[in-house]
Structure 1
């Protein structure tokens, strides 16, 4: 066993000190063991971890979460979309740094993290708690990877289940009622019948439209971050083509008149149309006016028009793969997961068709 055990006296009685060489040949140790057996077991465990390459230097564990957060921000965040970057930074500043920033990574226990998650769950939505836990998990994973701690204490900590918000869908008549009173009626109809995200729509340029083929190309997305748009690729990172319903073509053609190919379709062409204020913007004003005409119209946001597009497409007979391509989802499974309620009626249709086929076959 490569190390020594020595006895020393304290006011509380004899104690034992362990000294050994680290893999880099420097000498370190640990003191305060009450019995020689405890000291021997510790030295044995150190010897085994050194032999297996799993040794963790205790002195490195005194580094704080904030130290590894700097590395996390430098190495992990640049791989994310701008909006995701901002969300992660905000989560760290608001929920992680105040509680854990000054703590040494080796001193954090799973039970403490469980208490933190439980306390936060009583104050915040499940998605907020899950994001904060995800951020801390990524930071501690760096410490684990660098062998600063033997294992990530976040592993196995139970998180609250994310509750999916109920989708809001509009009918054709409801879409038209809102559009008729909107400052940008063509944009309302466009979002409700193409399924583009807001950032994809306002970033759409004249050169992205092919009026003859009734196709538009989505290859950019504008995300509103800290009061300004940041342009990047679509959410999935891939360009896609979307069909334009023929009744939109005339209005879109007029919206493009006098603009260069690089001009934006919606707005004055020179800048992306700003996102309407959630409570006092032009879109909410149009919704409120429409509700006076049709009280069944729910309170919706521009993003709900994307859900409406999926609903109207499915009602028109589109299959899940067509809806996936239109919306730019990464997989058909994702489309089914998000819009499972819209495909419920298919179950009845299939059951009735099978019954009819059987009756025809056995009659």
Structure 2
């Protein structure tokens, strides 16, 4: 559960609780709840902090939470990391690289993973179908892309 508190301030108005320097902080754990994996975010207003804390907890509950530090990574870096994990046959790796080079990289390669929305992916799929690819092929490309995000 996210914790919300007001940070202490050294200004003279701090004791009167009217100090505007004191930001509200939200501290929360990543979905795995590991010790040492706490994150903090500051807000000027209490209701902003409460809204953010609620949003984070909802995203964790439904499995849509994305670590803000990880969301800044380029799709290409995430892709290469995903390819290096596991034990895949050379022919499978070649197939995945071909799908990435021809269908994923032109659209998502230079973007951060945090900027890619479900709408972007839906439009990408529709674009592949509009280009005349068979539905089964489009689905295979989608499955490969989805696997890199998991």
TM-score bracket, shorter-length normalisation: 0.5 to 0.7
The aligned residue for residue 71 of structure 1 is 81
Partner of 2:147: 138
The answer for the alignment partner of 1:328 in structure 2 is: none
TM-score by length of 2: 0.63
Equivalent position of 1:19 in the other structure: 25
Give how far 1:67 is off. Answer: 1.8
Q: 5+ residue gaps in structure 1? A: 7-16, 142-363
Q: How many residues align structurally?
A: 127
Query: Within 2, Cα distance between the matches of 1:61 and 1:5?
Result: 27
CA distance in 2, matches of 1:47, 1:85: 37
Task: Give the unaligned 5+ runs of structure 2.
Answer: 8-22, 30-35
**Aligned equivalents of 1:108 and 1:114: distance in 2?**
11
After TM superposition, the structure 1 = structure 2 runs for residues 55-66 of structure 1, keeping only pairs within 5 Å, are 56-66=66-76
Q: What SS class does the counterpart of residue 3 from structure 2 fall into?
A: coil
Task: Find the structure with the greater CA-based Rg.
Answer: 1
Structure 1 residues 98 and 19: CA distance shift in structure 2, 3 A: farther
Q: Partner of 2:25: helix, strand, or coil? A: strand
In structure 2, what is the Cα distance between the partners aligned to 1:48 and 1:84?
Answer: 37
User: How far did residue 116 of structure 1 move?
Assistant: 0.9
Measured against aligned partners, the alpha-carbon deviations of 1:26-54 in whole angstroms (never above 9, x if no partner) come to 653155x8x7434312224446778x8x7
Change (3 A) 1:57 1:19: farther
Residue 2 of structure 1 is matched in structure 2 by 3
Which residue pairs with 1:87 in the alignment?
Answer: 95
Give the CA deviation at 1:124. Answer: 3.8
When residues 48 and 4 of structure 1 are mapped into structure 2, their CA distance, relative to the original with a 3 A threshold, is farther
Higher relative contact order (CA 8 A, sep 6+): 2
- TM-score, normalised on structure 1? 0.30
Closer, same or farther: CA 112–122 of 1 in aligned 2, 3 Å: same
After superposition, what is the alpha-carbon deviation per residue over 1:63-112, rounded to whole angstroms, capped at 9, x for unaligned? 22212211221125x423x4333222111011111211222222221111
SS state of the match for residue 79, structure 1? coil
Call closer, same or farther: CA 1:41–1:130 in 2, change over 3 Å. Answer: same
CA shift, 1:60, in A, is 1.9
- Return the structure number with greater helix share: 2
The answer (yes or no) to whether the contact 1:91–1:131 under 8 Å persists in 2 is no
Cα RMSD of the aligned pairs, angstroms, is: 3.5
1:102 and 2:103 are equivalent in the alignment: no
